[in-house]
Chains A and B, each alone.
Chain A
Amino acid sequence: MTIQGGASAPPADRVLSDGDVPLKVRLRRAERVRKMTAFGLVAPLLVFLLLTFVVPIAGMLWRSVGDNELSKVLPRTEAALVTWDGKSLPGEAAFHALADDLAQAHADDTAVIAARRLNYDVSGLHSAVMSLARHHFDPAATPSYRDAVIAVNHHWGEVDAWGAIRHARGPLTDFYLLSALDLHQDASGAIHRVPADRAIYLDVLARTFRISLTVTLFCLVLGFPVAYLLATQPPKIANGLMILVLLPFWTSLLVRTAAWVVVLQDQGIVNDLLLWLGVIDHPLRLIYNAIGVHVAMTHVLLPFMILPLYSTMKSIKPHFMRAATSLGAPPSVAFVRIYLPQCLPGIAAGCLLVFILAIGYYITPALVGGASDQMLSYFIAFFITDSVNWGLASALGAVLLGATLLLYAVYSKLVGGTDIKMG
């Protein structure tokens, strides 16, 4: 509500009333009050989400680069390694410092923290740390700490073990993010790929994208005719068909997953039917493998493809198609040259939406997939609950979050800002 300064209107700042305050000033004041009220209404939810959502996720991102556990347990060792070249074994002082630090850690019950952290980097260091922590050195009877420490555990005679200690000095580290991409930094600071038998996360990432892409394509192919029918039928039929799309959409994810387990299991309906028809003579394995994951995920995500496609197709005027046909185009040509291009925004929006949702999937693959069908989210949960490595879980989370936000930025450019449509 701004005043348009037209030629015939009196200049706004000359209109005086109510205590001689110019109208322009009062308008500005009213506008400011309006803005403050508006912001005041938004503030409670904003603050709530900052505390329960934004700050926790920022904390997770911090954990993917933060590394301050080890320097608390091994402060003297880290100090002794500051000038180390990383090529040959460090000097006597570092060995002495390590023995002292671990003796102290043993007394404080913190040696296990160092053991766990160093073992992430070089496997075998867990026992190397624990055995050294338990060992008691008599300073008078130890002429060379270097020889004595290596005698306790051979790992301390390897440059890599010391590289791991220095690499974990904190407060920041790229260790977890590198690990999440199957990369490793050796003692001399060079970054290289981890050996093939330890490389898993690039595979997981590739698998996550591959499954998501396949599911997106399935959804597009299956969703297109349904959306087309919904958009072209008279409202009475279309509304009825819409219910068949919305009911699965509103049915609990767990119910739909349970349903697929029941339908696809060895004695399930699909296998029974195929056996009865004589197509197969023994049950096919349809679940706890890639088939199960693709079928169930396509089923769960299909409505997210149909709804944006439908809303785009609904806005396509039938005149264009009729014009094309009346000008002599066969239906197939009219469809490809006239109809399909107008569907493109809906296709792009639906595909991106399905893909974004798919890459974050956890529950469905966990319940209907096999060990080799698990996606990124599964490994994030695994490193939180089963094998405790919070740094790596956070780094994998950061990778997933980065991919999601990037795709979402493309999506919102396409769909137009914050206008997300539902149902």
Chain B
Amino acid sequence: MSLANHPQTLGQRVGRWTVWTSAVLVLFFLMAPILAIIPLSFSSGDFLTYPLPGLSLRWYHELLVSDKWLPALRNSMIIGVSATVISTVLGTLAALGLNRARFAMKPLIMGVLLSPMIVPVIITAVGVYFFFAPLGLTDSYTGLILAHTALAAPFVVITVSATLQHFDNTMARAAASLGAPPVLAFFKVVLPLILPGVASGALFAFATSFDEVVVVLMIAGPGQRTLPREMFSGIRENINPTITAVATVLIITSVILLSCLEALRRRSERMTTGKVT
């Protein structure tokens, strides 16, 4: 594979350099703003400018004592965890069903199941607002949890379906031939094997809800303001260093989420392809 060992023409060398330079610049463009915001959260000054006047943890202290950010985190967790649990259960069942057999209107059903991912969120938000308002579901946790579950479910369906495609069905058949009833075979054999896929789906679902702000803007009351909702007003009204502290915490959260996903992906590859290590 490695072309580096071959003698190269000038053209090839210029090509390589162009690709590397432009790719590195683009990767810098992707990472730089995210990295630039982190040091500002440790600034001792009031302004979001470099050079930093000094280092301090005052903005993190602000974050902990304010009456805004901790309740927002709590709301985000309540809504995110509930939406994740419901969407993971419903999404996993649906993926198992879709994987099991062909039935009438399967493509249409698949389309409906994945549509929350495709339809612009503002449209979902408006529809949900009209529909939930007369039912008394606006300004409530229940309404937000239901809407976020709908937005998150497609990610679970896709992730678990992908895992099931690599799933070796002889395992399930072996369990059945040894006399396990279907439900027992599922919990003892199938579920442990596809669990990494289910967990990735759950992480996707949680990230979807945890980052969602359009539906929250439309249907949440003052009691259900989530982290992204508070960030939205913070950025819009008066961006101050507390926002950079929240942002830093969220960046660390995404690093953790990403590492978990990567670990799960490796585990899933090992388990479903049946390679014993």
Instruction: Please list the residues of chain A having a beta carbon within 8 angstroms of any beta carbon in chain B.
Output: 31, 34-35, 37-46, 48-50, 52-60, 63, 222-223, 225-226, 228-229, 234, 241, 243-248, 250-263, 265, 267-269, 272, 299, 302-303, 318, 330-332, 335, 356, 359-360, 362-363, 366-367, 377, 380-381, 384-385, 390, 393-394, 397, 400-401, 404-405, 408, 417-418, 420, 422-423
Contact = CB atoms under 8 A, between A and B. Distances in A.
A384 B1 contact: no
Interface string B102-127: 11000101111111111111111111
B213 A363 contact: yes
A230 to B, nearest CB: 8
B112 A49 contact: yes
B11 A330 contact: yes
Given A38-B101, A226-B26, A251-B250, A53 B150 contact: yes
Contacts of A58: 127
A31 B103 CA distance: 10
10 cross-chain pairs, A with B, having the tightest CB-CB distances, nearest first: A360-B120, A41-B97, A56-B127, A56-B131, A42-B97, A259-B33, A38-B100, A38-B101, A45-B90, A45-B94
B235 interface: yes
Chain A interface mostly helix, strand, loop or mixed?
helix
A245 B147 CA distance: 29
Contacts of B155: 422
A108 to B, nearest CB: 20
Contacts of A360: 119-123
Given A52-B150, A234-B1, A251-B254, 16 more contacts: A31-B101, A42-B94, A52-B146, A57-B123, A244-B31, A245-B27, A245-B30, A248-B31, A252-B231, A252-B254, A263-B36, A359-B120, A362-B120, A363-B214, A367-B235, A390-B130
A418 B107 contact: yes
Contacts of B113: 42, 45-46, 49
A42 B105 CA distance: 12
Contacts of A223: 26
Contacts of A263: 32-33, 36-37
A254 B147 CA distance: 19
Contacts of A318: 1
A380 B96 contact: no
B150 A48 contact: yes
A44 B94 contact: yes
27 contacts: A39-B97, A41-B93, A44-B90, A45-B157, A53-B115, A55-B131, A56-B131, A56-B132, A59-B130, A60-B127, A225-B18, A247-B34, A248-B34, A250-B207, A251-B34, A251-B250, A251-B254, A252-B254, A257-B235, A258-B247, A263-B37, A267-B47, A299-B29, A302-B30, A356-B118, A393-B126, A418-B110
A371 to B, nearest CB: 14
A48 B11 contact: no
A82 to B, nearest CB: 31
A397 B127 CA distance: 9
Nearest to B182: A37
A37 B183 CA distance: 12
Interface in B15-30: 15, 18-20, 22-23, 26-27, 29-30
Contacts of B48: 262, 265, 267-268
A54 B116 CA distance: 9
A268 B32 CA distance: 13
Contacts of A60: 123, 126-127, 130
A299 B204 CA distance: 20
B232 A363 contact: yes
A63 B15 CA distance: 56
Contact of B23 (A53, A229, A247, A258): A229
B79 interface: no
A41 B100 contact: yes
B128 interface: yes
Given A44-B93, A245-B30, A250-B257, A272 B130 contact: no
A262 B36 contact: yes
B50 interface: yes
Given A49-B153, A56-B124, A362 B214 contact: yes
A341 to B, nearest CB: 18
B55 interface: no
Contact of B33 (A254, A260, A408): A260
A57 B119 contact: yes
Contacts of B110: 418
Contact of A228 (B19, B120, B129): B19
A335 B18 CA distance: 14
Contacts of A356: 118
Nearest to A266: B49
B220 to A, nearest CB: 12
B12 interface: yes
Contacts of A57: 119, 123-124, 127
B19 to A, nearest CB: 5
